[in-house]
Each structure stands twice: as structure tokens, then as C-alpha cells.
Structure 1
Amino acid sequence: MTQTILFDPLLPWPVLAGLAALVLASIVLAIWRRLPGWGLRGLAALCLLGALTGPLSQSEDRAPLSDIVLVAVDNSASQQLSDRQAQMAEARAGLERQLNARPNTETRWITVEDSPGDGGTTLMQRLSQALADEPQGRVAGIIALSDGQVHDTEQPIDLPAPMHLLMTGREGDWDRRLILRNAPAFAIIGEPITLTLRIEDQGTPPPDQRQAPLEISIDGGPPQRFNLPLGVDFDLPLTLPHGGRNVIRFATPEIPGELTDRNNAALVQINGVRDRLRVLLVSGEPHAGGRTWRNLLKSDSSVDLVHFTILRPPEKQDGVPVDELSLIAFPTRELFLEKIDDFDLIIFDRYKRRGILPAIYLDNVANYVEQGGAVLIAAGPDFASADSIYRSPLARVLPAAPTARVLEQAYRPKVTELGHRHPVTAGLEPPGKENQPHWGSWLRQIEVAAPQGHVLMQGVETRPLLVLNRVAAGRVALLASDHAWLWSRGYQGGGPQLELLRRLAHWMMKEPELEEEMLWAEVTGQTMQVFRRRMSGTASALTVTAPDGSETSLQMQQRAPGLWEVSYTGAEPGLYRLSEGAVDTVVGLGPAAPREFQQTIATADLLAPVLAPLRGGAMALEDGLPRLREVSAGRPASGRGWIGLTPRAAYETRSVSQTTLLPAWLGLLLAAGLIIAGWLREGRR
């Protein structure tokens, strides 16, 4: 039971203060004038003032509350190194005994795990969440069992009591790590990029360590080996071998005695892109479709387009003097003999033999295809004529032969069953709706026979319309119509003309995402979504080889025609090899350098700014578990072999009762009695 004197004034305190000053002045005046009875009258005034203040006696029934001690246990990845788990288990058991022996104490155990997304150890965030759930007036102290490698110390936190760090780890710990800097997400194929590498030792490494071996492998291939000096930044020039994703692994072997080899390797995935795609477009004559090709290729900023349109064929005789023509001469020798290898794609748009390109030039174009180049034929009536480009040395690489028939009738292009699997036409026409007209008609088709390769689209009476084929190291395509431009004009509703031609052109230029037989993965954290595209048959089981060599077999599910997928979550970061049938690839899971293993040596420096304001301490568990001691608020909270907790003496008020010390009637009665006594004294005088 606690007694407290309170006041409940009947008048505002400023009014009472004024009355008190008036009474005091009156008493002083009476003393100065030596008036009899001044003492009795002063007491009467004090009784009246006391009654006006409303004095109360308050009694509280209080129940004491226990102190709360928060203990944060760091269970992040860096705490699994060496014997830190054993250190922490022993410290936890000893700390639990001391806290249980302390009277009137409750313990809140907080487990700190690795934060998602490679965020590291977020100890301050977990403590902020725990403190928000506890009354601040009862927290007597905060203890952290950790190696001190905390990654959110910049987060502001208001500690109501001293915080202490009981640090795991050993004084002789050391570790070697590989640091990779300046790793771009994209790089140009054929041009070197510079990566900055550094191998450094932390802690107390063995003496006479000056160099470390380095292994570099691309897409899981045979490694290249170098020796790098320790503690020095090294600029490494690197050229990507192919387009698309290049998975590059840098590693230095584990040395006996170091804490971990998890930071001895780094993975980086760089997408190889072409600097500029050079396209040569040769239009045999001006027509509406020629502008379609030009607009398509000019709209892509990564494409350098060289476009020639034959406006004045050799057989044209109109009598205009040559010196008055403002036409550019067609540089046939330069383009088709000297610089043909500079182009990634050559398009012949309604081109026919007119003597402009001799047979030797067209033979060189065929050689260009066989050596890895690409040629696309956009055929018009010229392809079916006697002057067809097919009737030249180029015929040996073309995917189909003309029959000399030109079909002048309306038809709706359709995607074939194979076309629904091929990346060039997949998704353009929803499967199962071939009989429902939803594309505009084309009005002309060149009949071709004996198609080789893949027929992706068909026209009049299922005749081949779009044929793709691979010839040696190169690629060829034949579009047996010059009316694709009708879709861009919205004729009868139009169609996906822009997307079709864009995909077709980029497949010809060997864009990796448009390959027919392909296995790839999309990575999110430690989970990858694996996709397999096949042009025939069904996908077999996917084999996943983990960094430790273990294999997992997964059954893939069909997502679309020719496309299968499956999800897989890796147990650890590193390089994973995927294989299905004859196709394989590699993919990296996890960050290039996990944050938990960037710094592995135990330290108190990171938490020092957090511990200092309330004078908490940092103790190494290697030196033994410190004792718990009670300290007053504001006093040093740690010393040699001990850490302090601040008793809070918190309580809970169960009931409150109030009693009036001087009722108004009693104050009035006392004041009246004293006034009468003073009056009698004056009368006797």
C-alpha cells in the first residue's frame, strides 16, 4: 500500500496564489503595526486557503512487475562456421542459468535468421520488432549472442536499457575470400571487358602467404589457371565467347585452416549482345512491301541497315543521258565480294536476275551462308519467273523450289502444327483456332515445292508459305509472298506482321532466345524456373547437377506446344548444370558473393556505436561467460568479467482510494473559531 498527498483545488492555482500573497501581506502589516491577535487571524486565513486547495490522501494497491531481459541469438549463416554453434550453445545454457537465478526476471529469446534476398544479418530489425511488443519501462537489458557481423547497424533504434554483445569466434580465426568488382550485366560480343578481382586474407592468416591460385571457367568448361598476388586489385580482361547468358565462375582453392570456402568463389552471369547488327536489304523494284521491311529494320536502334532499291534496271531504255541521272551506282563488287562477311543478314526483296549481280556474286552469297551467314528471300512474282533468283548458284542453299505458278487469290495465312512449336511463330496464332478467321487475307502466293527444313506457315490449300532451314553453319528463310504488308495496313483486320517479321529477322541473325532446341532457366533467389523447347517429341526427365556433384531428376510439365517447364530450388548457392536429352546448360543460383560470407571474422566494431550510448559492453565468449550484475541507470553497464542489468522496479496499480484531509466545513469551522478567538483577544486588550 502506497500513500500519496494530492491536491484538488476549488479555485485555480493562480487565484489561490494571489490570495496567499494577500494574506501574507496582511500578516506582515499586522506585525509591523503590532496589532494584537494577528497570529490567530493568520491561522484562520491559512485554514481557509488549505480548505480551498482540497488536500487528498491517495492510497494505491500496487503489484510489482518482473524485469524483462531480451536475448537475441544470431543463427545466421556466418554463425555456422568453425565451432561458433558450440560456443553459442554453451553460452546460452550458462546465460539461461544466471537469468533463472535472478529474481523477478523474465527472459525473451529472439532468434535471428538470414534475411531473404541476401540481406545478411538484420539484428537491429529483429530487436526493434521485439521491443515494440514489450513495455519499455520493464526492459532491464538486451544481450546479443553473435559474431558481431551485423548488416543493419545503420537502422535507428531507441534502446530503453543497456545492450551487450557476447561475441563468438576465436582470436586466431582467419579466412581467405575472393572479391569481384565491375561485373556488368551486359557485354558486347567480341569486345573485351575488364573485371576487377582481389584475393585477400582476413584475421590472422599464416605467414609467408603472398600469392593465391585463381581458376576461371565459362559455362562449366575447363578452367584456366592463374596466380594472383594477395591483397592487390587485379584487372582481368575477358571476352565473351557467345551471345546470350555466359555463366563465369572465379574460384581460389580452399586453404587448410581457413574458416570457410564459401567466399572462395564468385559467380557472375553476363549477357552477351551484339554491338550492331548489319543488314543488307536489296529490293528488286519499288513496291509497298519494300517500305515495310525498311521501317521494321530502321525502327531497331541496334540494326545498321544498308538498303538498295533497283530503280533503273539495265534493260530500261528511256533516252535519259546517264550524266543527268541522280541515282547512286550499285556497289556490287564491294558489297558481295569484299565486305559480304560484315553483314549479319542479307534480304532479297522481290529480286530477280537482271545482270546486275553476276553468277559469281550469287555464288559468293551461297558460300557466305554455308560459312555462317543468313539470307532471307521475300518472294514475289519474280521468284516464279525465268529470271528467278532460284535459277542461280544461290539455289543450292534455298529451302524450296518455285513451280512457276503464281496464285492470285485471297487466303488467310495459318500457322502449321510445327509452327506452334517454333519460336518464330509460336503464340502468333492460338492453337485450336486455325479454322476461325482472325487474320486478314493476303492476295498472292508463290507456289513452291520440295521444302527443306521447317514449314512454319501455310497459305492456299495448305501450300508452304514460310520455310526456314539451316544450311551448314548458316540459315536461310523463304517467305513465298510479297503481301505481308497488307497486315500493317489493317486489311480485313490485319495481323501480327511487325512481330512476325521481327522474329524472323532476329532468328536469321541467331538471337539466342529464338533458338529451336533450347534449354534455359529464369532465376529468382535460390529458385529457378527451367524451360525446355523442342521441335518434336516430348521432353524427358531433367537432370540437375548441384555444385557438390549430387544429381536430381525432375519430370517436366508441358506448358505450351513444344514448351515444357519445371521449378527447382537449390539447397546452396553455386553453379548448377542442367541437362535434358542432348541439350545441356549451366546456371548460377544465389548472389555472386553471399553477404554473410563477405566478412567472416568476429568483430565488435560494427555494434560499438549501438552499445556506447547506454555504456554497454562487448565480451568474447572465448574468455568465458561474464557474470550478470545490477547497475543503476546511467552508470557504466559493463566491466571486467561482468555485464550489467538495470532493475526497473515496475509495478501494476490494482486499486486507488482517496480521502479528503481537510473538508470544506472543517476548514470553515476552524477559521471561524480562530477569528472569534482573535476578536476576543482584541476586545480584552
Structure 2
Amino acid sequence: MTRQILFDPMLPWAVIAVLGGVALALCLLAALRGLPGWWLRALAVGVLTLALADPSLQTEEREPLSDILLVVVDESASQGLSDRAVQSEEALATLMAEAARDGLDTRIARVGDGEGDEGTLAMAALSELMAEVPRDRVAGAVVISDGQVHDAGQAPDLPAPLHLLRTGREGDWDRRLIVSNAPSFAILGEEFTITLRIEDQGDVPADAGTEADIVLSVDGGQPRAYRMPVGQDLQLPITLPHGGLNVIEFRVPEAEGELTDRNNAAVIQINGVRDRLRVLLVSGEPHPGQRTWRNLLKADSAVDLVHFTILRPPGKQDGVPVTELSLIAFPTRELFSEKIDEFDLIIFDRYQRRGILPGNYFENVRDYVEQGGALLIAAGPDFASADSLYRSPLSPILPARPTAIVIDQPFTPAISETGEKHPVTEGLPDDFGVDGAPWGRWFRQVQVEALPNTEVLMTGVDDEPLLVLDRVKNGRVALLGSDHVWLWDRGLEGGGPQAELLRRLAHWLMQEPELEEEALTAVALGQEITVTRRTLGDAPGAVTVTAPDGTETELTLTEEAPGRFVGRIVGAEQGLYRLVEGERTAVIGLGPAAPREFVETIATDAVLANAVAAQEGGALAIEAGSFDLRSVRAGRQAAGRGWIGWTPREAYLTADVRILSLVPAWLFLLLAASLATLAWLREGRQ
């Protein structure tokens, strides 16, 4: 119970002060004139002034409130290293026991990894605790952590000491791999450099070595090992193997005794782009579709097109003098012997053997394909003739043989069962045609027989093969058994997806990864990983997903489209995920390969040093042994060897308040009247 005197003036204090001052001045004047009752008048004035102030007695019934200790427990990924989690729980148990002994209430917040790759947001958690309790009850705050806090600069303004109970061991050390410079894209066939660095931190043992192996693999393929010094930058030259997305993984083997291997790997994703796409288009004779091929290839500014059209075969005699022909000599030797390897794609458009290209040049084309080149045959009636390219040294690599029959009747191209699954023809737009037909019709087809182990993607008249693909050693070949694809470009009967079909076909021939028919890929959106398995065969088995911490999960895929099976999994943590399905492998990084929690893994006091010092707190290593919790006065140093302090706040809750007037108004009036009467009598007697 507490008591105090309150005043509730009947008039403003300024008015009371003026009236009191005037009355006091009159009393002093009476005293100077020697009036014997002046002091009685002064008392009467004082009584009236006090009555105007209306004094009262306030009595409060107070219930003391316990002080509160705020505790933030770091449960981020780095706290899972070594025995830090056990240290944290033991320290928390000791702290709770000490707080209970001192009568402190505790508020505990457990903080894990921040969203995305924000790291440990311990100060944000402490601010939230502060917002949930009255400020005048906060007696102290304790953070149990390895000290690697990533929002240390946002520490709240505390009215009490802040302490750090640090996990970790004195002899901890770790090795990590850093990719300090890597491009987001690179030109195919051109060498570029990536800057790598192996860095040791903590109490590095003498036998850790000054060099370490680094293993490189692309798209989960065959790894290659390099030897590099520790603590120095290494400029590693790399050439991308294919266009599209290249996932390059670097890994340093785990050293004995280091804290974790989670930061021993790095994954970068580099898009391989072709500097210039060089295409050789050889048209055997002028025809309406020739312009379509040229317009399609020239529409892309990145395509260098070399186009030759044979306007007059050597055996034709039309009487035109050679000097009047506006033609250049066909540079056959240069194109088909010296520079054939410089082309990314060779197209023979309605070409037939006419003696212009000798047999050894066709052999060069065959070797070019077998060594990784791309060949497209756009066949017309020429392919069914005696001068067909099939009757040349190209025959061993062509995917179909002609029957010498040319079918001249209208038909609508159709996607075969295999074509429904193949990425070249899967999902082609089918809203071009009229009268319910998906596409416009063609009017000529060369009858061919697809060879074994080839892929027939499109069919024509009576389901005869129309588009046939094949792999030849390291290269690829495609045969289009009609020269009427240009009708789609002209919009006859609505046309069709000519540009999209030929674009996909060219990219498949040039081995672009996104057009692979047998592939395992993964895409990450936030924490969700979407796994896609393309296949022309039967349904694939489950995909084994290996998380960064080594745990394995079996992911069952469901068929979302013919030949495309998809599954989704939510990654529980940041890092590198490995996927295996049969002989297919893939890797994907969810966030960085080494999350922020594993960039700096050695426990430290330095990160929170300024925040702790600003609140007169301290940092204690948990491995040093037990500690005490002590009460200290505000403004004093609140930490020492083996102890941390809290500041008593003496907060209370007012249960009841009573207010009584010290003197009744009638008593003030009686006293003032009596004093005034006595003063009058005293002066009258005088």
C-alpha cells in the first residue's frame, strides 16, 4: 500500500498564485505598519489558498509484477553442426532454472533459417518478443546462438542488458569453396574462365594441407579433378559442351575434422549460346518453297546463311553464253571439304545428284554428321528418282529409303504415336486449319520406308512416314518426305505451324538440350522443385532425390502429357539436390549451393559485439562451463566471468485507488473565519 498527497485546484494555478501573492503583499504591508494582527491575517490567507488547492490523500493498493527475461534460441542450420544443438538446450535449461530461482518470468522465441536465404534473423525475433510484453517489465535479454546472426545491425532498443551465450568449440574449423566470378552465359566453343577459391577458417589443423582437390562436373556427367592451392584464387578455363542451360558443379572433398561439407560445393548455371548459327542451304532447283526456307533462316539475325541454288545443271544446253550468266562459281571444294566443319546445320532442299558434287564430298558430309554434325533432307520428287541422294555415299546415314513412288494427292499431315511424345512435334498448335481440320493440306509426298531404330514423328497419306529422325553416331539426321511444307507458310486452307516445326527440328538436329527426347530435368520455383522426365518408352520409375543433408526421397512421377512425366517436391532446406532415375541424372540448386548459414560457420562473438556492448551486456562461451544469473543495478556492468546479469524493474499493477480530502471545505472556511476574527479583535483591542 502506498499513500501520497494530491492537489486538485479549484482555479488555475496561475490565478491562485496571483491571489496568494496579492494577499501576502498586503500582509507584509500590515507588518511594516506595525499592525498587531498581521500574522493572523497571513494565516487566514494561507488557509484560503490551501483550500483553493483542494489537497487530498491518495491511497493505492499495488500488486508487484515479476520481471521478464527475453530468450532467443537460434535453431538455424548452422546450429545443427557438431553438438551445438545439445549445447543450446543445456544452456537454455540452466538459464530457465536460474530465472526461476530469481523469480523471473521468461519469454522464449526459437528462430530458424529466414525465408529465402536471409540467414539467422535473431534480432527480428527479439524485437517481436519486445512487442509482446510491457517494456517496463523487461529485465534482460539472452541470445543462445553460435553468434552468426545476420541482422545484428537491427538490434532493438532494450531497457536492460543483452547477452550472448555462444555455442561452438574452440577447436572448430571449416573449409569452404567460393565461386567469386562466373558469367551467366557463354558462347559455345569459346573458352571462358571461372574464378574459384578454397578458404579455410577457424582453428585450422597443421595437417589440413595447403592444397586440395576440386572436382568439376557438367550436368551430372563424368567428373574431372583439379589440384589447387588453399587460400588463393584459381582461374579455371571452361568450354561449355552444349547450348541451353549448363549446370556446372564444383566440389571439394570433405577434409577430416571440418565442421561440414555443405559449403564444399558450388553450383552455377550458365546458358550456352551460339555466337553465330552457320547454316548451309543447298537448293537443287528453283521451286515455290525455296523462298520459304530462305525467309525462315534469314528472319533470325543470329543466323549466317550460305544459300546456293542450282539454276542450270551442267548437262543442260540452252544456248545462253556463259558470259551472260549472272552466276558465281559454286565453291564446292571450299564448302564441302575445307570449311564443312564450320557449319552447324546443312540442308539439302530438293537436291539430286547431277555431277556438281563428286562422291567424296558426300563422304565428307557423312563424316561431318558422324562426328556430331546436323543434316536435314527436304525431299521432293528428286528423292524418288534415280539421282536420289539415297544413291550416294549419304545412304548409310539416311533414316529412310525411297520406294521410287511419288504420291500426288492431297493429305493433312498428322502426328504419329511417337510424335505425340517427341519434343519436336509434341504440342504443336493445331488451330490453323478450316472445316475442323487442325492444319492445311499438302499435295505431294515421297513414299519412303523408315529404317529400323529410327523415329517417325509425322505421317501423311495412308500413314506413310513423312518426318523421320535418326541419330548417327555423334550426329543427327532428319528427312522430311515432302516439298510442300511451304504451303503452311502461305496460309493455304489456314496453313500450319511451319515456323515452329522447323525451328524445333533445327534445334533438335543441333542437339539443344531442351529438345532431347530422353531427359531428366528439374526447375525450382521458391522452395518447390518440379522434376520432368521425358521419354519415348514406357513410364519411368521413381526419381531418387538426394537433399543437401544426404537424406533420400523417392518421388513418383505422373504422366501430364504423352511422354512427359512430372513430379513435384518441396525442398526443406537450401542447397544442392541430386536426382537419379535409372541411368539419368540431374542436379539443381535450391537457392545457393552453400546457403548463407554455411558461408561463415565458425562460432564468434564479433558479430553481436556492438549490440551487446551497447546494453552493458556480455558474451559467454557455453563450453566454458556453467554460469550464474545475477541481479545488478541499472547502468552497471551486467556481465563477468561465469555470470550474466539482469536489472530489477520493480513493475507493479495498481489493484485499488482511494482518494480522500485532507480537510473538509467547511473546516477550511471555519479556520479562515476564526483567524480573520481573531485578527480583527487583536487589532481592535490595540
TM-score interval, normalised by the smaller of the two chains: 0.7 to 0.9
Shift of 1:97: 2.1
Identity of aligned residues (%): 57
Change (3 A) 1:485 1:622: same
For residues 223-279 of structure 1, the C-alpha deviation after alignment (integer angstroms, 9 at most, x for no partner) is 555543332223232334445434423213422x44344444444454544443322
- Residue 145 of structure 1 aligns with which residue? 144
Q: Are the counterparts in 2 of residues 149 and 602 from structure 1 also a CA contact under 8 Å?
A: yes
Partner of 1:654: 655
The answer as to whether partners of 1:468 and 1:478 remain within 8 angstroms in 2 is yes
For residues 544-563 of structure 1, what are the structure 2 equivalents within 5 Å?
Answer: 555-563=556-564
Alignment check: 8 A CA contact 1:240 1:246 kept: no
How far apart in 1 are the matches of 2:495 and 2:35? Answer: 118
| Shift, 1:65, TM fit | 1.2
Q: Which residue does the alignment assign to 2:616?
A: 615
Aligned-partner SS, 1:127: helix
Q: Do the aligned residues in 2 keep the contact of 1:16 with 1:49 (CA within 8 Å)? A: yes
Matches within 5 A, 1:579-594: 579-580=581-582, 583-588=583-588, 591-594=592-595
Name the counterpart of 2:333.
333
Equivalent position of 1:450 in the other structure: 449
Identify which range, 196-205 or 390-399, moves more after superposition.
390-399
Q: How many residue pairs get matched?
A: 678
Q: For each residue in 1:96-120, what CA deviation from the matched residue of structure 2 results, as whole angstroms up to 9, or x when unmatched?
A: 22112112x2122332333354443
* 3-state SS of 2:129 partner: helix
Q: Which residue of 1 aligns with 2:522?
A: 521
For the residues of structure 2 that align with 1:88 and 1:548, how far apart are their CA atoms?
21
Q: What does residue range 70-469 of structure 1 map to in structure 2 within 5 Å?
A: 70-103=70-103, 105-207=104-206, 210-218=209-217, 224-243=224-243, 244-255=245-256, 257-283=257-283, 289-300=289-300, 302-308=302-308, 322=323, 325=326, 330-351=330-351, 357=357, 360-380=360-380, 392-400=392-400, 401=402, 403-405=404-406, 407=408, 409=410, 411-428=411-428, 437=436, 439-452=438-451, 453-469=454-470
* Per-residue deviation, 1:162: 1.0
Paired with 1:681 and 1:318, the residues of 2 have a C-alpha distance of 160
Residue 641 of structure 1 corresponds to 642
Distance of 1:162 and 1:261 partners within structure 2: 37
Distance 1:241 1:374, change over 3 A: closer
Change in CA separation of 1:173 and 1:478 when aligned onto 2, cut-off 3 Å:
closer
Quick one: distance in 2 between partners of 1:321 and 1:671? 143
- The answer to whether the 8 Å contact 2:488/2:496 transfers is yes
Post-superposition CA distance 1:383-422 (Å, at most 9, x none): 566766556544554434264535353x433222211100
Counterpart of 2:578 in structure 1 is: 576
Aligned-partner Cα distance in 1 for 2:609–2:147: 9
Asked whether the 8 Å contact 2:65–2:653 carries over to 1, the reply is yes
SS in 2 for 1:444: coil
Structure-2 separation of matches of 1:38 and 1:310: 138
* Secondary structure in structure 1 of the residue aligned to 2:60: strand
What residue identity is the alignment partner of 2:346? I
**How far is 1:170 from its partner?**
2.9
Q: Say whether the 8 Å CA contact 2:518–2:536 is kept in structure 1.
A: yes
1:64 aligns with 2:64: yes
- Aligned-partner Cα distance in 1 for 2:524–2:178: 22
Alpha-carbon separation, structure 2, partners of 1:569 and 1:390? 52
Is this contact kept in 1: 2:433–2:496, CA < 8 A?
no
Contact in 2 for aligned 1:178/1:252 (Cα 8 Å):
no
Q: 1:577 to 1:43 in 2, by over 3 A?
A: same
- SS class of match (1:333): helix
- Alignment correspondent of 1:474: 475
What's the offset of the Cα at 1:131?
A: 2.2
Alpha-carbon spacing, 1:482–1:437, altered in 2? closer, same or farther (3 Å): farther
Q: Do the aligned partners of residues 547 and 62 (structure 1) sit closer, same or farther apart at CA in structure 2, a change above 3 Å counting? A: closer
Asked whether the equivalents of residues 280 and 343 of structure 2 are also in contact (C-alpha less than 8 Å), the reply is: yes
Q: More displaced, 397-406 or 442-451?
A: 397-406
Distance 2:228 2:313 in 1: 65
Alpha-carbon offset, residue 38 of structure 1 = 4.6
Q: Could you tell me whether the CA contact under 8 Å between 1:617 and 1:643 is conserved in 2?
A: yes
C-alpha distance in structure 2 between counterparts of 1:350 and 1:10, whole Å: 113
| Cα distance between partner residues in 2 of 1:34 and 1:321 | 151
State how far apart, in whole Å, the 1-side matches of 2:246 and 2:660 are: 84
How far has the Cα of 1:351 moved from its partner? 4.6
Q: Which amino acid aligns with 2:119?
A: G
Q: Which runs of 5+ in 2 are unaligned?
A: none
One-letter amino acid of the counterpart of residue 58, structure 2: Q
Counterpart amino acid of residue 277 in structure 1:
L
Please state how far the C-alpha of 1:644 moved relative to its aligned partner. 1.1
The secondary structure found in structure 2 opposite 1:120 is coil
Deviations 1:319-371 (A, max 9, x none): 6984794x665433322222111111122345556665555544433332233
CA contact (8 A) 1:246 1:270 kept: yes
Q: Give the secondary-structure state (helix, strand or coil) at the position aligned to 1:70.
A: strand
1: CA distance between counterparts of 2:163 and 2:550? 43
- Give, in angstroms, the shift of residue 42 of structure 1: 4.4
SS in structure 2 of the partner of residue 160 of structure 1: coil
**Cα pair 2:433 2:495 within 8 Å, conserved:** no
2:599 is aligned to 598
Which letter maps to 2:281? L
List aligned pairs for 1:525-536, cutoff 5 A: 528-536=529-537
8 Å CA contact 2:185–2:270 kept in 1: the answer is yes
**Can you list the C-alpha shifts for 1:622-658, whole angstroms capped at 9, x where unaligned?**
3322322112222211123321101111112223333
Matches of 1:630 and 1:341, distance apart in 2:
83
Would you say the 8 A contact 2:43–2:675 is kept in 1? yes
Q: Could you say if the C-alpha distance between residues 17 and 295 of structure 1 is closer, same or farther in structure 2, counting changes exceeding 3 Å?
A: farther
SS of corresponding position for 1:115: coil
Q: For the residues of structure 2 that align with 1:52 and 1:316, how far apart are their CA atoms?
A: 135
Classify 1:568/1:674 alpha carbon distance in 2 versus 1 (closer, same or farther; 3 Å): same
Q: Indicate conservation of the 8 Å contact 2:445/2:460, yes or no.
A: no
Q: Is the 8 Å Cα contact of residues 193 and 237 (structure 2) preserved in structure 1?
A: yes
Change (3 A) 1:271 1:499: same
Matches within 5 A, 1:489-500: 491-500=492-501
Deviations 1:269-307 (A, max 9, x none): 545444433222344566665454445444545543334
Q: Report the alpha carbon displacement of residue 207 of structure 1 after superposing the two structures with TM.
A: 3.4
| Residue pair 1:56, 1:661 contacting (<8 A) in 2 also | yes
Select between 498-507 and 549-558 the one with higher mean Cα deviation.
Answer: 549-558
1: CA distance, partners of 2:292 / 2:514: 24
Q: Do the aligned partners of residues 306 and 660 (structure 1) sit closer, same or farther apart at CA in structure 2, a change above 3 Å counting?
A: farther
- Larger deviation, residues 617-626 vs 285-294: 285-294
1:67, 1:106 within 8 Å by CA — same for their partners in 2?
yes
Cα distance in 2 between the residues matched to 1:121 and 1:163: 17
**After the TM superposition, which of the residue ranges 475-484 and 648-657 deviates more from structure 2?**
475-484
Distance (Å, rounded) in 1 between the aligned partners of 2:25 and 2:288: 112
Q: Cα RMSD (Å) of the superposition?
A: 3.8
Counterpart residue type for residue 560 of structure 2:
R
Kindly indicate whether the alpha-carbon contact (under 8 Å) linking 1:65 and 1:649 is maintained by their aligned counterparts in 2: yes
Cα 1:552–1:317 shift into 2, 3 Å: same
